[in-house]
């Protein structure tokens, strides 16, 4: 059961990492502004790391477990405030987040076969904070191996 679960996590990391690397290259190649290029380079590095972690995890390497722990940990927080925004997902996500308005509400969002990276010093008008439950559960599965 452990091997199947680790391979599933690895497959999601490889697929999302490969898709993310391609998306970041697409953002990087038209050579836009310096800010966009820096964010695209950071995204390229993160998705490259997730891709490498997934390959190592599928191979059953102990190093792959350690790398995947970090890869999943990077995907847990969801922060979208007017001051700072950060989110990363690779392969799939199940997000639980709250909008921080006058009357806060909880939301659930999920998707399979996707990637995403958001890093900005500005964000939406309505703040949202949350976690990626799939990344949290994957991190726990890898941690408790």
Render pLDDT for 71-126 as a digit per residue (tens, 0 to 9).
Answer: 999 999 999 998 899 999 999 999 999 988 778 889 999 999 899 999 988 777 78
Query: Could you give the 3-state DSSP secondary structure of residue 52?
Result: helix
Q: What is the mean pLDDT of the chain?
A: 91
State residue 126's pLDDT score. 81
Q: Cβ–Cβ contacts within 10 Å for residue 93, how many?
A: 23
Classify residue 144 by its DSSP letter: T
**In the predicted model, is pLDDT for residue 63 greater than 80?**
yes
Classify residue 83 by its DSSP letter: S
d(CA 43, CA 145): 28
Q: Which of 74, 72, 44, 46 is nearest to 57 (CA)?
A: 72
Query: Could you give the 3-state DSSP secondary structure of residue 125?
Result: coil
Q: 114: part of which helix (H) or strand (E)?
A: strand 105-120
**In the predicted model, is pLDDT for residue 48 greater than 90?**
yes
Are the C-beta atoms of residues 96 and 138 closer than 8 Å to each other? no
State residue 73's pLDDT score. 97
State residue 36's pLDDT score. 83
Query: Could you give the 3-state DSSP secondary structure of residue 61?
Result: coil
Q: Cβ–Cβ contacts within 10 Å for residue 141, how many?
A: 16
């Amino acid at each position: 059961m452990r091997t199947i679960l680790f391979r599933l996590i690895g497959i999601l990391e490889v697929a999302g990492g490969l898709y993310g690397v391609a998306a970041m290259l697409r953002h990087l190649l038209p050579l836009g502004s310096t800010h966009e290029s820096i964010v695209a380079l950071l995204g390229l590095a993160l998705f490259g790391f997730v891709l490498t972690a997934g390959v190592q995890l599928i191979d059953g390497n102990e190093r792959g477990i350690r790398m995947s722990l970090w890869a999943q940990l990077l995907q847990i927080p969801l922060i979208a405030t007017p001051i700072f925004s950060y989110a990363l997902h690779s392969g799939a996500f199940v997000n639980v987040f709250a909008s921080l308005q006058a009357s806060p509400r909880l939301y659930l969002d999920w998707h399979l076969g996707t990637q995403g990276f958001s890093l900005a010093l500005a964000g939406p008008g309505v703040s949202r904070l949350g976690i990626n439950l799939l990344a949290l559960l994957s991190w726990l599965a890898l941690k408790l191996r």
